[in-house]
Amino acid sequence: MSEMRGSNTWRDELASLVDDTGIRYAGEPIGVSSAYVVSGESGSRAVEPESLKDQVKGFAMAWGEIVVELGRGCKDIVQQSLLSEDSYVGRKLQKPCAKVSGRLKYLNEFLPEDRDPAHSWSVIVFVFVLALAGIPGVKMSLLEEFGVRLVSYDLPGFGESDPHPNRNLNSSAFDMLHLANAVGISGKFWVLGHSSGSMHAWAALRYIPDRIAGAAMLAPMINPYAPGMTKEEIKRIWEKWLPRRRLLYFLAHRFPKFLSYFYRRSFLSGKHDRIDNRLFLSLGKKDEILIEEPKFEEFWHRDVEESIRQGTTKPFIEEAVLQVSDWGFRLADLQVHKKCKRKGVLSWLKSLYSEAECELAGFLGPIHIWQTQDNGYHQHLGDLLPLPSYGMDDQAVPPSMTDYIGRILPGAIVHKLPNEGHFSYFFFCDECHRRIFSTLFGVSKGPIDRKVEMDQTPLNGDTEVVST
């Protein structure tokens, strides 16, 4: 009996210590080896032992799962014990949150029905703050007096506006339209453009004329390579610019990739500089006085910092290229003219004994242009009239550009400004702003009536202005 007990293997000894489970091990004895064999129907293969790298990887994955589960548990604890309505924190925050939400309810009139003001108020405030930069220095009391609601926006890629990979002036006009719809402008609205921003206002007149009540342009820029200009007009435009500005337009027209170097050394250099140095301008006396004022300097620095928020030169290059490339339309397309439907032989035969079906095409609303007076001569109706030399010309947008616009669009109303510069009549000038609004809207009619605003087309008084 003792011999039999001594012949028992360790498996038998282990089995004697526990209850019989009915499971029998039929494999080979386990020994110490550097490899083991896995058997199968197709044969056998040797499997290497787990390496240190695999062990560390498995350990890290296991710990990662533990940390994730721990985080979920902590989140549930916080939500159930701190952030629920019955918790101490929930009871303390419930009233302040309800108070803030109630104060923001007025924003619903600017938002789509499916938007909650608590989630969108920061966007509206951002637009509201930048609206003051649409006409720098404009007084809120003046806007209320004339019933004007001023809306300004960032072009794609500037500020916090998302880039548009394939933007052109057509997409720019429809961006304006979508913005107007988003802030609750259901009828017509005015567009206002200053300097190079005017090309976006021109685009609105061309592509969404049915929604535009009128246009106000201050020193409007046109394409210096626009077809249809006479040699004299081209000469008078280009001779006003400094050599660096001419080079900038030439590169934008021919070699736009080189513009990145200029913008990185100017706007994206991280240094503040005068506006005339950044834009390669020669300013007149009145502009020189203006840019030395602290309020203008503060505005200019804030404007530059906002424009380079995304830290890329791409939007600057896009704007420069848009300015000097084919706009997709000509200013002559905005002139009011009759457009008759005469397609095919049948329509031609019909027109022989009856009047053809015609309709007015072009932009039918008013176009007001403010431009500094030329200091040497002024072209009007084909005549050259000598004028006193004030020495205050607009060197950024030469007055000859406005002369070209007046020739192409004779219906445009041009307001000549003696002794003014490129910025002096538009930036931080209370009296100038009042004159502009009086010209556009006549006698002031007081604050906007929100109930009437959504039902009537705003032409006078209750007016929307989209500033570019």
Summarised one tens digit per residue, pLDDT across range 400-416 is 899 999 999 999 999 99
Q: Is pLDDT of 124 > 50?
A: no
pLDDT on residue 246 = 92
pLDDT on residue 320 = 93
Task: Give CA–CA dist 196/212, Å, rounded.
Answer: 19
Lowest-pLDDT range of 29-43, 296-310, 337-351, 392-406 = 29-43
Q: Is pLDDT of 10 > 80?
A: no
| Coil, helix or strand at residue 334 | helix
Q: What share of the chain is helix, strand, coil (3-state, %, to 5)?
A: 50, 15, 40
| Residue matched to tokens 């140095």 | 277
Lowest-pLDDT range of 311-325, 410-424, 446-460 = 446-460
Backbone angles phi, psi at 465, to 5 degrees: -125, 120
Name residue 423's amino acid.
F
Report the pLDDT averaged over residues 44-50.
52
Task: Give CA–CA dist 154/227, Å, rounded.
Answer: 29
| Residue matched to tokens 């930036």 | 427
What are the structure tokens assigned to 173, written together? Answer: 């006009």
Report helix angle 169-182 to 198-207, nearest 10: 80
pLDDT on residue 445 = 63
Q: Is pLDDT of 132 > 80?
A: no
If one compares 360 and 348, the residue with the highest pLDDT of the two is 360
| Coil, helix or strand at residue 385 | strand
Q: Is pLDDT of 100 > 80?
A: no
Q: Is pLDDT of 281 > 80?
A: yes
Q: How confident is the model at residue 216 (pLDDT cuts 50, 70, 90)?
A: very high
If one compares 16 and 292, the residue with the highest pLDDT of the two is 292
Asked whether the whole model's pTM tops 0.95, one would answer no
Lowest-pLDDT range of 174-183, 185-194, 229-238, 366-375 = 366-375
DSSP 92-136: HHHHHHHHHHHHTGGGGGGS-TT--HHHHHHHHHHHHHHHHHHST
Backbone angles phi, psi at 166, to 5 degrees: -125, 40
If one compares 233 and 133, the residue with the highest pLDDT of the two is 233
Helices (H), 255-360: 259-265, 275-278, 285-291, 294-307, 314-324, 344-353
Give, in order, the Cα–Cα distances in Å from 406 to each of 371, 378, 382, 401, 444: 11, 12, 11, 9, 29
Task: Give CA–CA dist 175/254, Å, rounded.
Answer: 28
Maximum average pLDDT range among 43-47, 168-172, 236-240: 168-172
Percent of the chain at pLDDT above 70? 63
Q: How confident is the model at residue 33 (pLDDT cuts 50, 70, 90)?
A: very low
Kindly compute the dihedral angle of the four CA atoms of residues 216, 219, 224, 230, in this order, to the nearest 10 degrees: 90
Report the pLDDT averaged over residues 146-170.
89
Lowest-pLDDT range of 75-79, 246-250, 282-286, 391-395 = 391-395
Q: How confident is the model at residue 129 (pLDDT cuts 50, 70, 90)?
A: very low
What's the chain's average pLDDT? 74
Task: Give CA–CA dist 121/107, Å, rounded.
Answer: 7
pLDDT on residue 355 = 58
If one compares 58 and 365, the residue with the highest pLDDT of the two is 365
Report the pLDDT averaged over residues 6-22.
52
Report the pLDDT averaged over residues 137-143.
90
User: Cα 38 to chain center, whole Å?
Assistant: 65
Q: How confident is the model at residue 284 (pLDDT cuts 50, 70, 90)?
A: confident
- Contact 396/389 with Cβ under 8 angstroms? no
Q: Which is nearest to 203 in space by CA: 327, 322, 325?
A: 327
Helices (H), 140-271: 140-146, 169-182, 198-207, 231-238, 243-254, 259-265
- Contact 209/185 with Cβ under 8 angstroms? no
Q: How confident is the model at residue 349 (pLDDT cuts 50, 70, 90)?
A: low
Q: How confident is the model at residue 326 (pLDDT cuts 50, 70, 90)?
A: very high
Q: Is pLDDT of 50 > 50?
A: yes
Percent of the chain at pLDDT above 90? 29
| Coil, helix or strand at residue 186 | coil
| Coil, helix or strand at residue 402 | helix
Lowest-pLDDT range of 53-57, 68-72, 81-85 = 81-85
Q: Which is nearest to 102 in space by CA: 122, 117, 89?
A: 117
Report the pLDDT averaged over residues 348-377.
72
pLDDT on residue 116 = 41
Q: Is pLDDT of 393 > 90?
A: no
Task: Give CA–CA dist 161/342, Å, rounded.
Answer: 44
What are the structure tokens assigned to 372, written together? Answer: 């500094």
Report the pLDDT averaged over residues 164-173.
91
